[in-house]
Amino acid sequence: MKLSSCPPSCLLVGIATACLFTACTTVNTVERAAPVGQRQMVNDKRIITDAGLNRAVRIVGVNEVPGEFLKIQVELLNSTSSLKSFNYRFEWFDANGVLVHTPTSTYISRQIEGKESIFISAVSPVASAKDFRLKLIESTR
């Protein structure tokens, strides 16, 4: 049966059935209409190689908290209706663009519910770290 020949009721039943089997659960939220805190947003450059991951773990924005040790916070949104597991890792670079090695650097597993927005953050491991890169990858296990 072609999709165009399927009546709307059929489509709704199909979507509902799909949600039933894929356990669609989405998140409702409420917050202050005009937030008091103002985020200092960072102009970012994104390289998307996994479009599927980008739909489920979409980068909404990046903001920074200046200080001796730079803090970066990234807002992520799951634009799908199902739970998604992913891993992320922050990398830090000094003023010369050299990667700063840190013993605690690791991929961290997170889950994000359907339509949920979450924040992930990191503080630079050394004061000389001036730039960052966030890597996101789908859970492999």
Residue ranges that bind another protein, judged by CB under 8 A: 67-69, 71, 87, 89, 102-109, 121-127, 137, 139-141
Please state, in angstroms and rounded to a whole number, the distance separating the CA atoms of residues 130 and 92: 7
Structure tokens at 93: 């670079």
Which one, 13 or 98, has the nearer CB to another protein? 98
Q: Is 23 left (phi over 0), alpha (psi -120 to 50) or beta?
A: left
Taking the least distance from each CB to another protein, the nearer of 17 and 106 is 106
**Residue 133 to residues 1, 97, 103, 116, 129, Cα–Cα distance (Å):** 46, 11, 17, 23, 11
Nearest approach, Cβ of 139 to another protein (angstroms)? 7
Least CB distance to another protein at residue 53 (A): 12
11 residue type, one letter: L
Shortest separation between residue 88's beta carbon and another protein, angstroms: 9
**Measured distance CA(2)–CA(71) in Å, rounded:** 51
Select 78 or 92, whichever has its Cβ closest to another protein. 92
Q: 40 vs 106, which CB is nearer to another protein?
A: 106
In the bound state with another protein, the residue whose beta carbon lies nearer, of 102 and 117, is 102
Rounded least distance, CB 82 to another protein, Å = 17
How far is C-alpha 58 from the chain's CA centre?
A: 5
State in angstroms the smallest separation of the CB of 16 from another protein.
26
